[in-house]
């Protein structure tokens, strides 16, 4: 999975540059979809809410102007992690400061695999 | 979309607590999918890399698994309002133990497109 980080880089661009990056980004996603390498992807609205704690408190966030905020994602279907990194390196937003986080999708929930591992240790 | 922010809080739980939570999570997710409110979401491996710079020339390790801000998994919901998405996030069994859930509307249209259109309109006004 690719997570696109950074929401503040757009501000410095002219409208022509923005249009150019948008077109490049759309063409990139279409190409990956046609090649069967991208199976889902969405931009996210810039603002949302955070739910946390035992009392399930709802607060504002993430802040739109954050370098770390996630602006969108692609779910890829590739044979190796290196393939995913190579695709991330094609991201049209990179020259403008976008960071792309590349994360393997887990075959099973890490909490469940941790538990299995503990059980194995206990039985050993 | 729900983004699970995690700092491996589950390492503090006993085996019984963990098993209970896993069962609760499974039931919670099965209920949401049966109601047509969630499409299959996935957990993410705890390690990854971050690509940045022109032509992606910087490839660095991270995010760090222990970070409170690291994303541990995601769930795409199919609901009418953000309020409903927040209510679903609040019913997540894991929240009692730690971590937080970011609730983000999926954009109808790419924010880049919207901003480009706004700018084009502003420039048009200036020209007039």
Q: What is the CATH number of the domain that holds B27?
A: 3.30.70.1060
Residues of chain B contacting residue A42, judged by C-beta atoms under 8 Å apart = 1, 76, 106-107
Q: Which residues in A lie closer than 8 A to residue B105 (C-beta atoms)?
A: 44-45, 48
Which residues are CB-contacts of A123 (< 8 A; sequence separation ≥ 6)? none
**Could you give the number of structural domains in chain B?**
1
B90 touching A, CB under 8 A? yes
Å from B34 to nearest chain A CA? 20
Q: CB under 8 Å to A13, separation ≥6 — which residues?
A: A21, A96
Q: Give B17 to chain A, closest Cα distance, Å.
A: 10
Give the pTM: 0.81
Task: Give me B121's structure tokens.
Answer: 């309109």
pLDDT value, residue A89? 94
d(CA A119, CA B45): 20
Q: Rounded to 5 degrees, what angle do the CA atoms A75, A80, A86 make?
A: 75
Of all residues in chain B, what percent carry a pLDDT higher than 70?
93
Predicted interface score ipTM higher than 0.90? no
pLDDT of B47 reads: 81
Lowest-pLDDT choice from A26-40, A64-78, B102-116 = B102-116
Smallest CA–CA distance, residue A17 to chain B, in Å, is 9
Q: Residue B25 is inside which H or E element, if any?
A: helix B15-34
What are chain A's domains?
2-123 (3.30.70.1060)
pLDDT of res. A75? 93
Backbone φ, ψ for residue B50 (5° rounding): -120, 130
User: Which chain B positions have a beta carbon within 8 Å of A97's beta carbon?
Assistant: 52
Strand B100-103 and strand B2-5: pairing? antiparallel
Domain that holds residue B99: 2-127
- Tokens 């538990």 identify what position? A115
Give the tokens for residue B28: 């919670």
Residue-wise pLDDT for A4-54, tens only, equals 988 777 777 888 888 888 889 999 999 999 999 999 998 888 888 889 888
Chain B CA closest to residue A122: B15
B128 in A contact zone (CB under 8 Å):
no
Q: Which residue has the higher pLDDT, B32 or A46?
A: B32
- Of all residues in chain B, the percent with pLDDT exceeding 90 is 12
Cα–Cα separations (whole angstroms), residue A31 to A9, A36, A41, B112: 24, 9, 13, 19
Mean pLDDT, chain B, as a whole number?
83
Q: Which band of pLDDT confidence, cut at 50, 70 and 90, is reported for residue A106?
A: confident
Residue A48 with chain B: CB contacts under 8 Å? 82, 102-105
pLDDT average, residue stretch A99-111: 81
How far from A23 is each of A36, B85, B113, CA to CA, in Å?
20, 31, 9
Closest CA to A92 of A11, A10, A22: A22
Instruction: Give the C-alpha distances (Å, rounded to integers) separating B88 from A7, A62, B72, B92.
Output: 26, 18, 18, 7
Q: Are A96 and A20 in contact (CB under 8 A)?
A: no
């Amino acid at each position: 999975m690719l997570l696109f980080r950074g929401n503040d880089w757009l501000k410095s661009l002219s409208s022509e540059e923005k249009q150019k990056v948008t077109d490049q980004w759309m063409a990139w996603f279409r190409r990956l979809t046609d090649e069967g390498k991208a199976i889902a992807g969405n931009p996210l609205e810039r603002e949302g809410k955070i739910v946390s704690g035992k009392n399930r408190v709802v607060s504002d966030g993430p802040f739109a102007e954050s370098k770390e905020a996630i602006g969108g994602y692609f779910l890829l279907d590739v044979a190796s992690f290196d393939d995913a990194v190579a695709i991330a390196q094609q991201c049209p937003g990179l020259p403008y400061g976008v960071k792309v986080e590349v994360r393997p999708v887990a075959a099973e929930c890490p909490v469940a695999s941790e538990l299995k591992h503990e059980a194995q240790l206990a039985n050993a | 979309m729900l983004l699970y922010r995690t700092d491996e809080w589950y390492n503090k739980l006993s085996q019984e607590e963990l098993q209970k939570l896993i069962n609760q999570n499974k039931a919670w997710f099965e209920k949401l999918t049966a109601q047509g409110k969630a499409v299959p979401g996935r957990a993410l491996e705890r390690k990854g890399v971050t690509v940045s710079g022109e032509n992606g020339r910087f490839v660095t390790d991270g995010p760090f698994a222990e970070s409170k801000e690291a994303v541990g998994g995601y769930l795409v919901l199919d609901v009418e309002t953000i309020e409903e998405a927040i209510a679903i996030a609040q019913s997540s069994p894991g929240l009692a133990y730690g971590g937080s859930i970011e609730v983000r509307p999926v954009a109808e249209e790419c924010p880049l497109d919207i901003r480009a259109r706004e700018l084009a309109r502003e420039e048009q006004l200036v020209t007039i």
